[in-house]
Structures are given as structure tokens and as C-alpha cells.
Structure 1
Amino acid sequence: MLNIYLTRHGETKWNRENRLQGWRDSELTDEGVENAVLLGNRLSEFEFTTIYSSSSNRALNTAKYICLDREIPIVVVEELKEISFGEWEGRTQAEIEEDFQEEYSNFWLAPHKYNHLPHNAESLSEFKIRVEKAMKNILETNSSGNILIVTHGVVIKALMSFFWNIPIEKMWDPPFIEGTSLSLIRWNGIEFHKELLGDTLHMRKHIIES
């Protein structure tokens, strides 16, 4: 049995400013770092053979904070980086809606109708193919034990689509994937089983509220 732990990078400066990042990057906020450390504490009792990280610094730095003082190999996988949003990257939601209202709405509300061409972005179908390729390569390398994948929100949704054959039009169905939330999927060589999806119990806001 292979236990696949999934998490999204911690909160970044652009997340807080409501700016799309895609292939561009911004630094983790203090809260993003803190939540990554809290996730590391939550996972400290588990032995991981490998951590697979997106090549984006926000994901790679999150992976390093999750390691704490443990020496876990981190393998950078270029295909696990976020979808390219083209000309939308670095712009706020309000700015994008002003210039690309229909396509921005389609991306989130009707992704099967989304057209990436007007803003020179990556298509959802091409994006899903590269993410699935990365996941298949990981599965070929690992048949049992625990692995952790540190990546991005849209990538995690694409992985879930791959695991359970979810069509593009239903990609954004719940749960919402927050930064440093934890998902656990078990692979028995035949099927992917949902154990935990988008759990945030270790995160700062829950600790403060409790």
C-alpha cells in the first residue's frame, strides 16, 4: 500500500493580495511558514521515503519547512508546478475581471468552457496531461510506504481528477484546498482510496479558535 500525502504550499504574499501566481512566484508569509511548520509537526511521526515538490520556490520552501530537522530527500518535479495563467499572472482578481471577465468566470465556474488563448496561458487539458504524467512516474517509482507531494491548489485538483476520473467541468467541486491543508490518498495498485481531503486541523487559525 502506498500512502500519498498531498499538500499545497503555504500562504504567500500574492495569496494575501489576491494575485494569481501560476508560474510566477512570491515569498511565503509568516503565517505560511508557521502553517508549514505545524504541518511538519503533524507529520513528524510518519516516515517518508521521499518528498516530491513543485519547482516553484513557494512549494520547495514549504517542503523544507515541513521537513523540520529531518533529512528527507526532496525531489523537484517540474511537471508539478502550477498551471500557467499567462498574462493574468501577477494581477489581482479585480484587474483580471476588468479585462477578461468571461474567461476568468469560465475558469472558475465553467472550466470546460475556459479558453486559455486570449491571455497566452496553458490549456486545462494540456495542464492535466503533464500533471498526470508526473503522478504516473511517481507511482512507477513507489509501490509502498509514505510519500509527500508539495504542490499547488490547481495541481491538487488535477490529481484528484486523475485519481477518480473527475471531468473538467467538476474540477472545482469541494473540498477547497487551502495552503498547507493535508490530504491522504491510499493506492493499492488498483484503486485510489480517499482517506483525508483538504484537512486543516493543524493550521494556525484552528489552533487559535480552539
Structure 2
Amino acid sequence: MTEIHIFRHGETEWNIEGRMQGFKDSPLTELGKAQAVAARKKIEHLEFDAVFCSTSSRASDRARILVNDVDTPIYETDELREINMGSWEGMSHHEVKEQYAEDYYDFWNRPGCFQMSGAESFHDLKVRSITCIKRISQEYEGKRILVVSHAALIKTLLTSLQSKPLDELWEGPFATNLSHSIVISGVGSQLVVKQFCDEICNE
């Protein structure tokens, strides 16, 4: 059985400023770094065979803090990056809501319908995230893996693996900066969500 532990990155400067991040990057705040140190307690009893993270520094920096072990290989991949928000990236939520009211509404209330030129749809993000996690689970069959990624990707992945519609992906449980999820790959390489942003899933 492959066991994949998934964390969201820590708080960033743009989180505080209320800016849309997506593919663009923003450094971890001091609190964000402290959150990564605190999150170690959730996995300090575990040994990992490999670590995968987004190529965005807010995720890769947290991965290094979480592992705190120079012997564990860390692999950065674009497949684990946040949803591409196109022209919104770097803008404040207020600015986006004013200038792209309909698309902004869809993003947060009807993500399954979100389609904006230059941006990634949640359907595409679903395919990207599931493809990546399946590949990791197959390449590291029977191993324990740590993944550090982003809120929209994590929520889209876990919601989809539970066969829920994309329009429900922003419902709880929420991907806070300390959230810890667990996905396992068992019989037939089927991916099963065992823990969803710190909430244990019922069988």
C-alpha cells in the first residue's frame, strides 16, 4: 500500500495582503515558517521515502522545513503548482471582484463552470492533480511519500477522489496553512482519501 501525506504550504506575504497567487510566487512569512515547523509534529513519527513539492518557493521552502532531513530526496514538479489564475495573479481579491465579477463568482461559487481566457479550469486542474498523484503512487508503490502543494490543487484533488462534484470543492473541510491530508493507493491502484485536511474520513 502506498501512503501519500499531503500538506498545504505556510502563510505567505500575499496571503496577508489578500492577493491572488496562482503560478506567481510570494515568500513565506515568519508565521508561515513557524507553521511548517509546527506541522512536523504531525509526521515526526513517520519516515518518508521521498518528498514531492510544487516548484513555487512557498511550497518547496515548506517541504524542506517539514522534512528537516538532508537524506530524504526532494523532487520539485510543476504538476503540483497552484491553479493558473492568468491575469488575476498579483491582483487583490477586491480588484478581481470589481474587474471580473462574473468569473470571480464562478471561481468561488461554481468552480465547475469557471472558464476564463488565459487561466486554468478546475477540470484541467483535476486531471493534472490526479495524474500526478497516480504517477507518484505507482512509481513508489508500497512506499510512504510526502507532498507539499497548494489549496486549490489539494481541494480539487481530494474532492474529485471522493467522487464529489467540483462545485463542492470550496466546502469544508478547508485547506488551512497547517492542513494535513492522507491518500492511500491499495488494491488495483485505486486512490482512497483517508484524511481530508486533518479530518479523518469514514470508511
In structure 2, how many angstroms separate the alpha carbons of the residues matched to 1:182 and 1:79?
19
Contact 1:175–1:198, Cα closer than 8 Å, also in 2: yes
In structure 2, how many angstroms separate the alpha carbons of the residues matched to 1:184 and 1:130?
18
In structure 2, how many angstroms separate the alpha carbons of the residues matched to 1:126 and 1:185?
20
Correspondence for 1:204: none
Correspondence for 2:161: 163
Structure 1 stretch displaced more, 170-179 or 126-135? 126-135
TM-superposed deviation, 1:195? 2.9
Contact 1:36–1:66, Cα closer than 8 Å, also in 2: yes
Aligned partner letter, 1:66: L
What is the SS of the residue equivalent to 1:96? helix
Correspondence for 1:38: 38
In structure 2, how many angstroms separate the alpha carbons of the residues matched to 1:58 and 1:65?
11
TM-superposed deviation, 1:58? 0.5
From 115, 129, 146, the counterpart of 1:131: 129
In structure 1, how many angstroms separate the alpha carbons of the residues matched to 2:35 and 2:196?
17
In structure 2, how many angstroms separate the alpha carbons of the residues matched to 1:138 and 1:10?
23
Correspondence for 1:141: 139
Aligned partner letter, 1:147: I
Contact 2:6–2:182, Cα closer than 8 Å, also in 1: yes
The TM-score normalised by the length of structure 2 is 0.91
TM-superposed deviation, 1:167? 2.1
Instruction: Report the CA distance shift for 1:33/1:185 in structure 2 as closer, same or farther (over 3 A).
Output: same
Contact 1:13–1:28, Cα closer than 8 Å, also in 2: yes
In structure 1, how many angstroms separate the alpha carbons of the residues matched to 2:196 and 2:162?
13
Aligned partner letter, 1:77: T
In structure 2, how many angstroms separate the alpha carbons of the residues matched to 1:80 and 1:189?
25
Aligned partner letter, 2:17: E
CA-based RMSD: 1.6
The TM-score normalised by the length of structure 1 is 0.88
TM-superposed deviation, 1:70? 4.8
Contact 1:143–1:189, Cα closer than 8 Å, also in 2: no
1:196 aligns with 2:195: yes
1:185 aligns with 2:183: yes
In structure 2, how many angstroms separate the alpha carbons of the residues matched to 1:14 and 1:64?
21
TM-superposed deviation, 1:144? 1.4
In structure 2, how many angstroms separate the alpha carbons of the residues matched to 1:39 and 1:71?
19
**Structure 1 regions of 5+ residues with no counterpart?**
201-210
Percent identity between the two aligned chains: 33
TM-superposed deviation, 1:184? 1.6
Contact 1:7–1:150, Cα closer than 8 Å, also in 2: yes
Question: Aligned ranges for residues 1-210 of structure 1 at < 5 Å?
Answer: 1-117=1-117, 120-190=118-188, 191-199=190-198
Instruction: Report the CA distance shift for 1:111/1:135 in structure 2 as closer, same or farther (over 3 A).
Output: same
What is the SS of the residue equivalent to 2:91? coil
In structure 1, how many angstroms separate the alpha carbons of the residues matched to 2:65 and 2:196?
21
Contact 1:107–1:114, Cα closer than 8 Å, also in 2: yes
